Amino acid sequence: MRQTPQWKFFRRPRRSIAAFLVVIVVVWFWQWRHSGYIAGPGDFPYFPAELENGVLDGYEDELAAFDEPSLFKLSKKSNAAAYRYSRGYPFGGGFAVRVTKTAEGAELRLAEINNRERPWVISRVEAVSLTATDWANLDALAEETGFWTMATPDDSVRILSDGKPCMMEGAENGRYHVVVRSSPNPGAYTRLCNFTLSLAGRQGSANEILDSDSRRVSFRHFAVLRVRSMALAIRFVEHTEKGLFESDYRGAAYEWFLQNDGSHDFARANVLKGQGKAVRSADHRPEDGKIVCGPIVLKWSPYRYEKCDYLEVNRAECKTGQGAQISMAITDWDALDKIDLNEKYLIWSTRDRW
């Protein structure tokens, strides 16, 4: 009787299976080599040994709770690059946002924890695909702000910690760096952190995280607002009405500039301007902190230390038209001629309620 032909695979199963496994391993190794493999959360260390001096105590546990990998280990691969911004909330929990370079652009992962007590549980995870332009802007901003040469801690970490540490990490071209600050003022470092987070916010997520610090204005630096065709720039130039302590104040002198011709150009001669003083009384009167800048009405309140002021929009008294959207951005510009509302790194807050 004629036998049915058999495939060679079944004639020599062990050799065939071994060859198949070799192919799988080769393909996996190629992908690992070219995709910028990131070590898993159990692959410590998260930081170089020379930084394990107490400054970064506890951060390893937080990053592991976010199910985040080690960027320090990623930095050992010359073809991989990523940035990560992580921050704790005042009373527990926090978020971590990581942007990892890919062949097409970048991938962003945002993880958030809301519970205060351990064990920490991730409450939200979001993934966003970014363009090559997004990555290029982030990478350029890191270089522009001097991130790679910033000291890892500063006096805000050593002396004052209010439970809101900000940590920015970078891994690129075989190098790794980390910078930690406690409640940093608006400035270069804050702009880098917020821009990293805004890459998720532009896709409709993380807006509430961005808005949490949107009203804290650095002393002598401008906050800018947009509403319809108008643009407003305002800054606080003096703290007055001292309280019981040297760092305690109950008043602030300010100056504002309004351009309402639709150009958003504060260099034009038709810019309206004014100045005044906001005061917070001991009995907290309703008019405390009120600031009128043409049709836009704001409200001021003091920060705990003389480095920032709180600013919010008093929508109920604004004469900007029904339903007009008011956007605010905090800047580190200290001169009117530096203001450019088209600057790509501005983070605009557009909350319906302040």
Residue 170 sits in a domain whose CATH number is 3.30.1560
Q: Are residues 67 and 184 in the same domain?
A: yes
Mean pLDDT value across residues 96-119: 91
Last residue of a domain, one of 183, 211, 239: 211
Q: Is residue 247 very low, low, confident or very high in pLDDT (cuts 50, 70, 90)?
A: low
> H/E element holding 50?
none
Split into its structural domains, the chain has a count of 2
Split at pLDDT 50, 70, 90, the class of 185 is: confident
Residues 6+ apart with CB under 8 A from 226: 232, 264, 326, 327, 341, 348
Question: Are 143 and 64 within one domain?
Answer: yes
* Judgement on whether residues 80 and 178 belong to the same structural domain of the protein: yes
Residues 293 and 187 placed together within one structural domain of the fold: no
Q: What percent of the chain shows pLDDT beyond 90?
A: 44
Instruction: With respect to residue 276, please indicate whether it lies within any of the assigned structural domains.
Output: yes
Q: Looking at the structure, do residues 240 and 159 belong to the same domain, yes or no?
A: no
User: Among the three residues 211, 232, 264, which one is the final residue of a domain in this structure?
Assistant: 211
Higher per-residue confidence, 326 vs 91:
326
pLDDT of 79 over the 70 cut: yes
As a whole number of angstroms, the distance between CA 145 and CA 222 comes to 18
Q: Could you say which DSSP state residue 291 is in?
A: E
Tell me: do 115 and 243 sit in the same domain: no
User: Are residues 185 and 308 in contact, defined by beta-carbon separation less than 8 angstroms?
Assistant: yes
In eight-state DSSP terms, residue 224 is E
Rounded-to-integer distance, Cα 317 and Cα 297, Å: 6
Strand, coil or helix: 232: strand
Is 298 contained in some domain?
A: yes
Give the chain's mean pLDDT: 81
For residue 82, with 0-12 CB atoms within 10 Å meaning exposed, 13-18 middle and 19 or more buried, which class applies? buried
- Pairwise pLDDT comparison (19 vs 323), residue with the higher score: 323
For residues 255 and 24, the model is more confident at: 255
In a domain, 26, yes or no: no
- For 222, residues 6+ apart whose C-beta sits below 8 A from its C-beta are 233, 234, 235, 331, 333, 334, 336, 339
Query: Per the domain annotation, does 7 fall within a domain?
Result: no
47-61, 211-225, 231-245 — which is least confidently predicted?
A: 47-61
Do 245 and 331 lie in one domain? The reply is yes
Residue 30 has pLDDT above 80, yes or no: no
Range of lowest pLDDT (4-13, 99-108, 132-141)? 4-13
Residue 354 domain-assigned? no
Give me 24's structure tokens: 């799988």
Q: Could you say which of 166, 182, 211 is where a domain stops?
A: 211
Same domain (yes/no): 160, 230 = no
Highest mean pLDDT among 10-14, 205-209, 213-217: 213-217
pLDDT-derived band at 29 (thresholds 50, 70, 90) equals very low
Q: Which residue segment(s) compose the domain that 56 sits in? A: 49-211
Other C-beta atoms within 10 Å of 307: how many? 17
Torsion 92-210-46-39 (CA) sign: positive
Q: Which residue has the higher pLDDT, 4 or 216?
A: 216
